[in-house]
């Protein structure tokens, strides 16, 4: 009888041990699932951050490209306006029949290079771009056209 009681006690202990072992297995499984869930959440968070960074980088690249295009258009517009102005002034100069007068040869400045001075004629005193007109009007010397190296606006100067 005592053996039976002892056997029953061992049986109960074994059942308790098996129940505890099952509980530990469940706890380990829950822990592993929790760790896996946390890892999955961290991976998803990293993926969101990576995606947000890529989107931010894409927007920044688009902004830079838009700015470059804007600058390119501004440069093109500026060049176009400048060229139109140059053509308009050239046409106006031709209409006014501007020409060089009083051409004077001076000393040589370097080997085979002589300095000349002249006065641009038919240039209205109200002309806004007098120096530019001077620089844009070629002077012909010995059959070769040269543009002036320097120009002086002497309107109103009294000698």
- For the chain of 159 residues, list the mean pLDDT of each consecutive stretch of 10: 76 86 91 93 95 97 97 97 89 77 89 89 79 86 88 70
The C-alpha atoms of residue 62 and residue 68 are separated, in whole angstroms, by 10
pLDDT at 156 (0 to 100): 61
Q: Which residues pair with 144 in a beta bridge?
A: 141
pLDDT at 61 (0 to 100): 97
The C-alpha atoms of residue 86 and residue 153 are separated, in whole angstroms, by 19
pLDDT at 41 (0 to 100): 94
Rg, Å, the chain Cα set:
47
The C-alpha atoms of residue 145 and residue 69 are separated, in whole angstroms, by 39
pLDDT at 70 (0 to 100): 97
The C-alpha atoms of residue 115 and residue 105 are separated, in whole angstroms, by 6
- Supply φ then ψ for residue 155, to 5 degrees: -65, 130
């Amino acid at each position: 009888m005592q053996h039976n009681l002892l056997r029953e006690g061992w049986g109960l202990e074994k059942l308790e041990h098996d129940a505890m072992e099952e509980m530990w297995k469940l706890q380990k499984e829950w822990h592993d699932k929790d760790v896996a869930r946390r890892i999955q959440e961290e991976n998803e968070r990293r993926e969101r951050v990576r995606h947000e960074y890529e989107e931010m980088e894409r927007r920044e690249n688009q902004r830079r490209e838009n700015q470059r295009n804007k600058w390119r258009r501004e440069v093109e517009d500026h060049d176009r306006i400048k060229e139109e102005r140059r053509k308009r002034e050239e046409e106006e100069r031709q209409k006014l029949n501007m020409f060089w007068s009083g051409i004077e040869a001076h000393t040589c400045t370097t080997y085979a290079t002589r300095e000349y001075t002249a006065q641009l004629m038919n240039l209205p005193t109200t002309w806004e771009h007098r120096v530019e007109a001077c620089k844009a009007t070629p002077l012909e010397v010995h059959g070769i056209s040269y543009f002036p190296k320097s120009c002086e606006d002497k309107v109103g100067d009294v000698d």
